[in-house]
Chain A
Amino acid sequence: MDSFFVRFKNALVLIALVLLQIVALAVQVQRPVEGTLPGSAPDGKRITLLRRWTVALVTPPERAVHAVSLHTRHVWDNYLYLRGARRQNEQLKQEVTELREEQAAFAEDAAQGRRLETMLGFQHKYIAKTVAAQVIGTSGSDRSHVLYLDKGWSEGLRPDQAVITPYGVVGKLRDVFPHTSQLLLINDSSSGAGVLLESSRIRGILRGTSSGEVEINNLTQDSRIKPGETVVTSGGDMVFPRGLPVGTIESIAPDPQHQPYTAIVIKPAADLARLEEVLVITGTSGTMPAAAQADAAQAEATAEETRRAADVLAQKLPSIGDDTQAKPQIGPDGKPVAAATPSDEVGGLPGVPNSGLPKVTPAVHPDRYTPGATPPAEELKPGAPAQPPSGSAQPQGGAAQPQTSGGSTPKADER
């Protein structure tokens, strides 16, 4: 017996270690917590402890190298490499001005939206508090899309908090350690999020794939879904607040493994491969934050100013609509005729409800294309010669233009 163990000790050690790890795998891969994907939920206590030891072993050097590189870059960017800074400053100022104008244009719509939400009792979650964190490391494997952040439990981070950049959603926190946290990116195969297609308003579930892509694979073929459509968070997963940009639809193809569903591949709005700084959403609230309220108020004031300036300009400048007001119409009896009210005219045509279109100047030489000159379609007879409008000049050259039918005449003549 002894000789058996001695003879096969190498193989036995291997078998023992492999079996031990298989049992450990079986213990770890439990039934996932309801509402979460397998692998996306935080680990159990014992596993967290093992992971914490590993992270404690690897992250201090990462943190040190990151600090040195950050300091070096800071010195280089702020004291040495200032070429083009002045020009960039001018460009940014110009951009700020343009964005302010754009913001003012949206302010009114936003205010109206908020009023409607209030009326409907709509529960909207605003991002109230965020913590900025820096990426110090990765998982080192392309099979696992996990990053390590330099902030942890002591900075107020907790598992399942959403992580974003100014461009869009990047993922959520998985395990949180005292001074480090693990960020599970949205392209990891265990990641998921509730999303909404912005224009078609179709809801879906976003999943990462093993190849590092992001896709929606719970929707069937729908002609309304088109490449280029923006995808935002729906808020249904209780992790990501509603309305955060996720990305745009890159391609739509039938999913051969999950028929009849389609694989809608999303191009993430944030560059997941080159993340440096992220924002962890540590708090949401039902009311808009004070800073955002101040911004909205400023934008509304700017919009009001712009509107007033436009009104003043409109009063000063002559316009098409001013002709009738400036010159009162005189009737055949020589008395002024009351101008038609705006509600019953358009383009000079009485009886048609006003749609806001400008009036058409009366034609100097009316012809059959002049509004009102063509008789109604029901009065026209196929093959009958066209009746020249009263007061119109006869066609030059002597040859009368033939007309085939009243309804299709203009197109036929144009050819």
Chain B
Amino acid sequence: MPEHSYTSRRELDQYAFRPAVTILAPLLCLILQAMLPKTFPKFTYIDLPLIATIFFAVARRNPISGTITGTVIGLLQDGLTGHPFGVNGIAKGVVGYIAASIGFAIDVDNVISRVLLNFGFSLLQSGMLYLISRRLLGDASVHLQPMHELIRAVATTVVAIPIFYMLDRFKIRE
């Protein structure tokens, strides 16, 4: 069994963040997500908390940390909606886990990887939210709108790239 040396790719590319950044960045994303649609109603297409979940998960490359970060951000998001707690918590927890897991395999600093990650995870989250609402909660009024979800994924990806570069400044190599 091969052992990870200090210079393995995992350890080289694993980052940490100051506690203030870990708390404030997702919180800022949540606050902006709640405030901006008041002035720009179309902003609801973009999911800033999802961007924060993906960023912290791929930067830390720790599936447990990614799952917990995603779940906490999702639960906070649920608290702002009229939906039961757990809808976004489950979806974002799973996204955080997968994002951290595949962070080992690909170069997450590459812009193309980042585009694909954000686009793919946005679609994954939409699918999971549909399944949770329709199957777990039995809400028959929920329908999957493929075009709508594609637009949402593209919009989220477009916004995610500059946010990723901005948050890169707060990375600390472990």
Q: A residues touching B (Cβ–Cβ < 8 Å)?
A: 9-11, 13-14, 17-18, 21-22, 24-25, 28-29, 38-40, 47, 50-51, 53-55, 57-58, 61-62, 65, 135-144, 146-148, 174, 182, 184, 188-190, 207, 209-211, 257, 273-274
A17-B67 CB under 8 A given contacts A22-B90, A29-B137, A141-B77: yes
Bound CA–CA A17/B83 (angstroms): 18
- Establish whether residues B82 and A54, one from each chain, have CB atoms under 8 Å apart when the complex forms: no
- Establish whether residues B80 and A211, one from each chain, have CB atoms under 8 Å apart when the complex forms: no
Whether, in the assembled complex, B71 has its beta carbon less than 8 Å from a beta carbon of chain A, the answer is: yes
10 pairs from A and B in contact (CB 8 Å cutoff): A14-B97, A25-B84, A39-B83, A65-B35, A137-B38, A139-B80, A140-B34, A140-B80, A143-B142, A211-B148
Bound CA–CA A141/B64 (angstroms): 26
Q: Given the complex, which residues of A lie within 8 Å of B129, measured CB to CB? A: 143
A18-B93 CB under 8 A given contacts A53-B79, A144-B81: yes
Q: Given the complex, which residues of B lie within 8 Å of A141, measured CB to CB? A: 33, 44, 77, 80-81
Nearest chain-A residue to B45 (Cβ)? Answer: A142
Interface size class of B (residues with CB under 8 A): 35 or more
Bound CA–CA A65/B31 (angstroms): 11
Q: B residues touching A (Cβ–Cβ < 8 Å)?
A: 27, 30-31, 33-35, 37-38, 41, 44-45, 48-49, 63-64, 67-68, 71, 75-87, 89-90, 93-94, 97, 101, 129, 132-133, 136-143, 145, 148
Q: Given the complex, which residues of B lie within 8 Å of A174, measured CB to CB? A: 82
- Establish whether residues B79 and A55, one from each chain, have CB atoms under 8 Å apart when the complex forms: yes
Bound CA–CA A102/B166 (angstroms): 59
Nearest chain-B residue to A175 (Cβ)? Answer: B82
- Establish whether residues B67 and A24, one from each chain, have CB atoms under 8 Å apart when the complex forms: no
Smallest distance from the beta carbon of A21 to chain B beta carbons, Å? 4
Bound CA–CA A25/B138 (angstroms): 12
A25-B85, A61-B35 known, 9 other contacts, Cβ within 8 Å? A13-B63, A21-B71, A21-B86, A54-B75, A54-B78, A62-B31, A62-B34, A139-B81, A189-B142
Nearest chain-B residue to A59 (Cβ)? Answer: B34
- Establish whether residues B38 and A135, one from each chain, have CB atoms under 8 Å apart when the complex forms: yes
- Establish whether residues A54 and B145, one from each chain, have CB atoms under 8 Å apart when the complex forms: no
Bound CA–CA A188/B78 (angstroms): 15
Bound CA–CA A32/B75 (angstroms): 22
- Establish whether residues A138 and B143, one from each chain, have CB atoms under 8 Å apart when the complex forms: no
Nearest chain-B residue to A135 (Cβ)? Answer: B38
Bound CA–CA A33/B79 (angstroms): 21
Bound CA–CA A10/B97 (angstroms): 8
